[in-house]
Each structure stands twice: as structure tokens, then as C-alpha cells.
């Protein structure tokens, strides 16, 4: 099996933040055999392996990647009907929003709240993508992976993936060896709309269709996110912090309107965008090169000339300001690649 491996490929062109240096080696793989060959090549040349999907959740360093970047472009879809669920197995290189649209088109409930999240199917379990009250982990039955250490394919169950808030096994050191090749989503036949999220409540007089929910989500999102095809962004740059109830109570004394959402482990998730906007006045602020988006302060934008270093310094400054004002430790949602 011979695959095309190119050298000195600009990664800025493969990421939505539009920054970053070059990859020493770059291979786009289109099927499982090509993936095996790309990994074997990297091993033979003693190159580190970095996987890239649509590049919509990464910040590549200005120095680039001194190993091999493998871009997963494996495509394919299979639908299966069981008594109580519709199963969809999608290959990692499929555009996630295309399958969200397709499921809404055929009237299957499940993915519609995740409409317009950029990127590939293969990345969805990595950060357990979520929006408007739905996390993809709720819908993932299993994930097929290639283990770059044993060089074998295997199947991980939902529990194996250790899903958490924007987190999974694939983000942990022991999970970095896996490359996702396909994801099987299960949509319960007795499912209906999930409309608990503030912006979706009271929007429909009658029970909507999956397509109507998708349209509503797209409309809501268009005010909060810039068009990533035109503006450099990776969406929400930081995770919403999850804090102890006692800290939340202290913050409420100073900021009585600070929203808080109880989590299943008795903590409180606070919307960081609110803190950036109402406490720190950072909405729409920044420098000539990098700033927060005027529609949602959690979203950082490359104003045209930013380097990865500019974005990192700006993000670090925000983290420090939040800590100083609220004692909250903020984590990046975006993955650093170097």
C-alpha cells in the first residue's frame, strides 16, 4: 500500500483559527488500509503522530508539528434498524453536520441540538461535543479505533470512552494512542425533542419536528458564533467552569445574577461567557489581532494577523483575569498542538 505523504504542509490552512506552522510530514488517509500504512510510516521514521479532522478545535503552535499529521478523510455511512433504535455508523472523516442534517431530514430524533457544530465525526467523541442540553456521549453506542501502539483495530463501548464534560479517554494520556475510525450512534425510537435549554424553551407552540429544532438551533447559533468559514475561530475557547456550591454562594454575594446550573455531582456549572461579559467587560474586546467575539465573549477570534503566540497570550490573560476576579480556574476547551 503506497500513500501520498507530503512535506512542509501549512497547518494554518487546515485549521479554522487559521494559525500555526507547518507539519514536517502530512498524510490524508481515505480508508483503513491507508491509515495502517501512514502509521507504519511514522513508526518507521520515528515520527510522532498527530491526528487532525476539520481543525476546528485546535490551536497549532507557530513552530508547527515536527512529526506526522494524519488527516482522517475516511468516509462512509451505514444505517441499521433495531426494535428500539436506529443505529448510524459514520466513518471518522464524514462532516458531522452533514449527518446531523441527514438525520433531521429523515425525522430521527437525537442529533438536532448539535446542529452547525463544525468538524468531523471522528472528533465528536474526543471532546464529547455538546450544545443546547445534549452531549454526543448520550448518543454514542461504540467507537471503532486504531491503536497506534499495537497497530490493531478494535471497538470501544460507550463506557470504555470515559466520557465527561468536553472530555473523554481520547484526551487522556492513555487514550492518545487511539485514532477514531468510525462512530456508531444509537437513536432511541421513543425519543423526542430536548428543549430544556433556555433559548429553546417556549419557542414552539406544538411539538416540533427534528428539522424545526435544527432550524431553531441554527438561528440561535448564528447570533453567537461568527461564520467560521470567513472568520478565524475555534468556537468556545474555554470550558464553562464547574465549581463547588460554596464558591458559587460566595460569588453570588458579589454577583447576584450570576447564572449557575447544578451538575449531577452536586457542583455548579457557570457560564464563563457571562463572567467575561458582565464581570470583566471583555465582550468584543481585544487587540488588533485577537479578540473576543461581540456575540459571545467565550468565542475568541483571529482578527486577521494573529499568530498562535498572540492567541495564547490573550487567552492566558483572560484566564488570569478570571482567576483574579472570581478565584475560578479556567481550562481551555481548544487543544494545543505542537
Ligand X SMILES: Cc1cc2nc3c(=O)[nH]c(=O)nc-3n(C[C@H](O)[C@H](O)[C@H](O)COP(=O)(O)OP(=O)(O)OC[C@H]3O[C@@H](n4cnc5c(N)ncnc54)[C@H](O)[C@@H]3O)c2cc1C
Strands 49-52 and 5-10: unpaired
In the residue annotation, 236 being an active-site residue is answered as yes
HSE-CB for 322 with a 13 A CA cutoff: 26
- Single out the segment in contact with ligand X by CB under 6 A; choices: 78-86, 101-109, 228-236, 281-289: 228-236
Asked if 16 interacts with ligand X (CB under 6 A), we say yes
Asked if 122 interacts with ligand X (CB under 6 A), we say yes
Figure out which of the listed residues 53, 64, 210, 241 binds ligand X, where binding follows CB under 6 A: 53
Q: How many CB atoms lie within 10 A of CB 298?
A: 25
Nearer to ligand X, 90 or 282 (CB): 90
Figure out which of the listed residues 12, 103, 180, 297 binds ligand X, where binding follows CB under 6 A: 180
Helices (H), the chain: 32-44, 96-105, 210-224, 245-254, 272-274, 308-326
Figure out which of the listed residues 9, 35, 111, 117 binds ligand X, where binding follows CB under 6 A: 117
Asked if 56 interacts with ligand X (CB under 6 A), we say yes
Figure out which of the listed residues 11, 18, 57, 296 binds ligand X, where binding follows CB under 6 A: 57
Asked if 335 interacts with ligand X (CB under 6 A), we say yes
Output 208-215 pairs: Cβ under 8 A, ≥24 positions apart: 209/104, 209/107, 210/103, 210/104, 210/107, 210/108, 210/109, 210/110, 210/112, 211/104, 211/105, 211/107, 211/112, 213/104, 213/112, 213/113, 214/100, 214/101, 214/104, 214/112, 214/115
Which residues in the chain belong to E strands, given as ranges?
A: 5-10, 22-29, 49-52, 58-60, 65-72, 77-81, 85-91, 130-131, 134-135, 140-147, 152-157, 178-188, 232-236, 242-243, 261-262, 268-269, 290-293, 296-302, 335-337
Figure out which of the listed residues 28, 234, 243, 318 binds ligand X, where binding follows CB under 6 A: 234
Nearer to ligand X, 124 or 142 (CB): 124
Strands 261-262 and 290-293: unpaired
Q: How far apart are CA 96 and CA 110, in angstroms?
A: 13
Figure out which of the listed residues 185, 228, 238, 274 binds ligand X, where binding follows CB under 6 A: 228
DSSP state, residue 116:
T
Nearest partner of 326 among 278, 292, 283, judged by Cα: 278
Nearer to ligand X, 16 or 292 (CB): 16
Asked if 52 interacts with ligand X (CB under 6 A), we say yes
* Site residue total, ligand X (CB under 6 A): 33
Shortest distance, CB of residue 61 to ligand X, whole angstroms? 13
Asked if 243 interacts with ligand X (CB under 6 A), we say no
Q: How many residues does the chain have?
A: 338
Judged on CB neighbours under 10 Å (0-12, 13-18, 19+), 107 is exposed
Asked if 55 interacts with ligand X (CB under 6 A), we say yes
In the residue annotation, 333 being an active-site residue is answered as yes
Strands 5-10 and 22-29: antiparallel
Nearer to ligand X, 196 or 244 (CB): 196
Nearer to ligand X, 111 or 251 (CB): 111
Asked if 235 interacts with ligand X (CB under 6 A), we say yes
Shortest distance, CB of residue 136 to ligand X, whole angstroms? 8
Nearer to ligand X, 31 or 255 (CB): 31
Asked if 273 interacts with ligand X (CB under 6 A), we say no
Cα-to-chain-centroid distance, residue 188: 24
Residues 203-222 interacting with ligand X (rule: CB under 6 A): none
Shortest distance, CB of residue 262 to ligand X, whole angstroms? 21
Catalytic residue among 25, 73, 166, 221: 166
Residues designated as active site: 166, 236, 333
Point out which residues bind ligand X (CB under 6 A): 16, 50-58, 72, 92, 117-120, 122-124, 126-127, 129-131, 170, 179-180, 225, 228, 233-235, 335
Amino acid at each position: 500500500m503506497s500513500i501520498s505523504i507530503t512535506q512542509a504542509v501549512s497547518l494554518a490552512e487546515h485549521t479554522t483559527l487559521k494559525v500555526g506552522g507547518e507539519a514536517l510530514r502530512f498524510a490524508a488517509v481515505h480508508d483503513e488500509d491507508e491509515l495502517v500504512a501512514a502509521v507504519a510510516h511514522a513508526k518507521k521514521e520515528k515520527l510522532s503522530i498527530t491526528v487532525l479532522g476539520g481543525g476546528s478545535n485546535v490551536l497549532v503552535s507557530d513552530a508547527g508539528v515536527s512529526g506526522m499529521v494524519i488527516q482522517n478523510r475516511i468516509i462512509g455511512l451505514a444505517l441499521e434498524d433495531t426494535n428500539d433504535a436506529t443505529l448510524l455508523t459514520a466513518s471518522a472523516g464524514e462532516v458531522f453536520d452533514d449527518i446531523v442534517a441527514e438525520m433531521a431530514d429523515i425525522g430521527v430524533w437525537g442529533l438536532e441540538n448539535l446542529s452547525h457544530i463544525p468538524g468531523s465525526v471522528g472528533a465528536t467523541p474526543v471532546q464529547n461535543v455538546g450544545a443546547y442540553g445534549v452531549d454526543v456521549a448520550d448518543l454514542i453506542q461504540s467507537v471503532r479505533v486504531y491503536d497506534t501502539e499495537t497497530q490493531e483495530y478494535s471497538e470501544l463501548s460507550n463506557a470504555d470512552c470515559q466520557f465527561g464534560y468536553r472530555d473523554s479517554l481520547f484526551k487522556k494520556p492513555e487514550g492518545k494512542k487511539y485514532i477514531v475510525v468510525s462512530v456508531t450512534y444509537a437513536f432511541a425510537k421513543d425519543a423526542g425533542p430536548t428543549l430544556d435549554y433556555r433559548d429553546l424553551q417556549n419557542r414552539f407552540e406544538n411539538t416540533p419536528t427534528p428539522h424545526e429544532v435544527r432550524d431553531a438551533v441554527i438561528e440561535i447559533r448564528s447570533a453567537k458564533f461568527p461564520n467560521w468559514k470567513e472568520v478565524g475561530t475555534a468556537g468556545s475557547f474555554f470550558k464553562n467552569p464547574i465549581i463547588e456550591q460554596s464558591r458559587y454562594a460566595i460569588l453570588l454575594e458579589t454577583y447576584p445574577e450570576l447564572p449557575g446550573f447544578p451538575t449531577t455531582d452536586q457542583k455548579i456549572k457557570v457560564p464563563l461567557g457571562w463572567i467575561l461579559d458582565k464581570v470583566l467587560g471583555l465582550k468584543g474586546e481585544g487587540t488588533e489581532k485577537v479578540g473576543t467575539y461581540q456575540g459571545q465573549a467565550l468565542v475568541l477570534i483571529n482578527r486577521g494577523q494573529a499568530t498562535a503566540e498572540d492567541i495564547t497570550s490573550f487567552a492566558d490573560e483572560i484566564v488570569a483575569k478570571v482567576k483574579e476576579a472570581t478565584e475560578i480556574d479556567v481550562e481551555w476547551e481548544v487543544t494545543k498542538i505542537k
